[in-house]
Structure 1
Amino acid sequence: MKQGPIGIFDSGYGGLTVLKEIISELPEYDYLYLGDNARAPYGTRSYETVYQYTLECVKQLFDMGCQLVILACNTSSAKALRTIQQNDLPGIDPSRRVLGIIRPSAEVIGDYTSTGHIGILATPGTVASDSYLMEIRKFFPRLKVFQEACPMWVSLVENNEHYNPGANYFVQKHMDNLLKKSSYIDVILMACTHYPLLINKIKQFLPGGVRVLDQGRIVAKSLADYLKRHPEMETLCSKNRRYQFYTTNSTETFERQGSAFFGQPVHARHLDI
């Protein structure tokens, strides 16, 4: 089999915060990022629609040479990953792999808490899916998990309003809501890839001693561990330090918005799906 880049998929820009951390952890590999911006957001769409869109993009990444694809999108990981892994991959190519970002977070989150009370900040779609509750229960059945849906936060970030004082109201509102659910929460997971851009505001409204976890860093370390444990897949990932970016929408908009998520300029190509 031919070597290829590691595919990173998201419905929009948020997955760039995950890719940024993956590159920091594993800089030697090639990466191909695909943002389905033309059909974003996925969070308000049905399970069937999210599954269909995600599958189309995974197939596109396979066609572009990726042997391994990471769904750097909580909505796709919650609503499409398992079906793709169990039903589609065996027919497409059983040697290829598709991984998500919910399980890696669930596997380790219990290691960060002393009280056993953790908070989850996420989009309404991710909260409604209960994916984090189900995954965390598999690894840490005694943890008490409190979720808070933050419907305005993605819009704040994508409209570049997250730096403005007006964003404080929406951040404080949801932080207060979460902490009212349990005063023992000592760890909070940002379970949306947009939320790292709000980290400074989130910390403003937290009491001392509460730790905020960046999902991208957890996923990056999990991927490094996965490649060590699966040398048959690691050898299929090319290593030329090449990073490619594709979007299903405007390249100009993607480059302007994407640079804020990635932390440096990005140069994108358009792709029709």
Structure 2
Amino acid sequence: MVKNKQSIGVFDSGYGGLTVFKSIARKLPQYNYIYLGDNARTPYGDHSFETIYQYTLECVEWLFAQGCPLVILACNTASAKALRSIQQNILPFKYPDRRVLGVIRPTAEIVGNYTHKKSVGVMGTRGTVNSESYLMEINKFFPEIKVAQQSCPMWVPLIENDEHRNPGADYFVKKYLDELLAKDDEIDCIVLACTHYPLLVPKIKEMLPPDINLLAQDDIVADSLALYLENHPEIESRISKEGHQQFFTSGDPRVFDINASTFFDNEVVSSRVDLIHH
């Protein structure tokens, strides 16, 4: 039998998904991976539900065409607004042997282990907060948990402009934390519901009371994927194990490579892809 060259696909509208990919590749280095950033059309959060669904589906189908039996939507906006429709309306009919997973459910599944007071804060982009996806998913697993949400519109621009380590970022980190904690003084666990936010963890921890747990998605999603592959040998056995990593962007590869290294902690060399006409 000819050995298939099949990879795990990791997709994000921009760079944030690289924090998730970095953790996945660290935990599961043996697999082949293809990362796709739809940088030409980012940010997704500003678009309508239909547009986000269309863009996400185009990216997923591109990764399927590259031979990925499994695609991770390492994007909260895409996970909130497109994942369920793709899982229910596209896969069973068009790609019955492929799987698409998101980042919201793995986070919601474990949040109950990190709150004693049954009070959780969720910090995300406006799109993710307005979708109320975290409220719904956490409620499914832990109906007794109260959830307060806080949108943090300045955090992604700070990170993407490499200002997140600078003192100027402190004001906006503190501002949104204070606004969230003012909503419920029982909060003892905060979920960072955006894949950019792991880069702010050191600053957030400095400003957080020590008794509040902070959950970032990078390691959560990596752990969840490891478990998924263990439980689904029919998918796992199809993925090549040569440790190859490929990067693609719908934007300018030179710009992507410079910015991507901030998120991936390693040199990244990408190729450009035209998603519209694949």
The answer, yes or no, to whether TM exceeds 0.5 is yes
- Asked if 1:9 is matched to 2:16, the reply is no
Q: How far, CA to CA, are the matches of 1:67 and 1:114 in structure 2?
A: 39
Partner of 1:152: 154
Partner of 2:133: 131
Partner of 2:29: 27
Match of 1:69 among 65, 68, 71: 71
- Asked if 1:43 is matched to 2:45, the reply is yes
1:121 alignment partner, SS class: strand
Equivalent pair of 1:3/1:67 in contact (CA under 8 Å): no
Structure 1 length as normaliser, TM-score? 0.98
Partner of 1:266: 268
Partner of 2:243: 241
Q: Deviations over 1:211-241 (max 9, x none)?
A: 1112111111111111111110110111100
2:44 alignment partner, SS class: coil
State the superposition RMSD in angstroms. Answer: 1.0
Partner of 2:173: 171
Partner of 2:209: 207
- The one-letter code of the counterpart of 2:9 is G
Q: Deviations over 1:12-62 (max 9, x none)?
A: 000000001111111111110000000000011110000000000000000
Equivalent pair of 1:74/1:101 in contact (CA under 8 Å): yes
Following superposition, the deviation at residue 90 of structure 1 comes to 2.0
Q: Deviations over 1:150-188 (max 9, x none)?
A: 011101110111122111111110000011111221111
Q: How far, CA to CA, are the matches of 1:211 and 1:138 in structure 2?
A: 21
Q: Deviations over 1:92-117 (max 9, x none)?
A: 21010011010000111101111111
Structure 2 unmatched ranges of 5 or more: none
Partner of 2:114: 112
Q: Deviations over 1:114-143 (max 9, x none)?
A: 111111110000000000000001100000
Q: How far, CA to CA, are the matches of 2:73 and 2:81 in structure 1?
A: 11
Structure 2 length as normaliser, TM-score? 0.96
Q: Describe the shift of the 1:3–1:229 C-alpha distance in structure 2 as closer, same or farther (beyond 3 A).
A: farther
- Asked if 1:197 is matched to 2:176, the reply is no
Following superposition, the deviation at residue 205 of structure 1 comes to 1.7
- The one-letter code of the counterpart of 1:27 is P
Following superposition, the deviation at residue 3 of structure 1 comes to 4.8
Q: How far, CA to CA, are the matches of 1:101 and 1:208 in structure 2?
A: 26
Equivalent pair of 1:188/1:210 in contact (CA under 8 Å): yes
2:187 alignment partner, SS class: coil
Equivalent pair of 1:157/1:197 in contact (CA under 8 Å): yes
Equivalent pair of 1:18/1:72 in contact (CA under 8 Å): yes
Match of 1:229 among 228, 231, 238: 231
- Judge which range, 71-80 or 85-94, deviates more: 85-94
- Judge which range, 199-208 or 114-123, deviates more: 199-208
Q: How far, CA to CA, are the matches of 1:71 and 1:200 in structure 2?
A: 25
Q: How far, CA to CA, are the matches of 1:172 and 1:179 in structure 2?
A: 10
2:239 alignment partner, SS class: coil
1:23 alignment partner, SS class: helix
Partner of 2:184: 182
Structure 1 unmatched ranges of 5 or more: none
Q: How far, CA to CA, are the matches of 1:190 and 1:243 in structure 2?
A: 26
- Judge which range, 37-46 or 1-10, deviates more: 1-10
